[in-house]
Amino acid sequence: MAKIPEAQNRLFKNMFVCKNCQSKIRSDTQKVLKGLTKCRKCSKKAFRPLKKK
């Protein structure tokens, strides 16, 4: 698979990892920042971007 910066950026941009249970979730950055995104597994609202780590 060719690495397309734009596509990768888009993929990672909306991906977050739950700080509580480490499950990945796709959501808008704005939604996460506003606390509108809940973790599917543990219902927490603490997320970090997927990029880190």
List of residues contacting Zn ion (CB under 5 A): 18, 20-21, 39, 41-42
Beta carbon nearer to Zn ion, 3 or 52: 52
Q: Kindly state the smallest distance separating residue 18's Cβ from Zn ion, in Å.
A: 3
50: closest CA among 32, 6, 5? 32
Beta carbon nearer to Zn ion, 20 or 27: 20
Strand ranges across the sheet with 47-49: 24-26, 15-18, 47-49
Beta carbon nearer to Zn ion, 10 or 24: 24
**Cα(24)–Cα(35) distance, integer angstroms:** 16
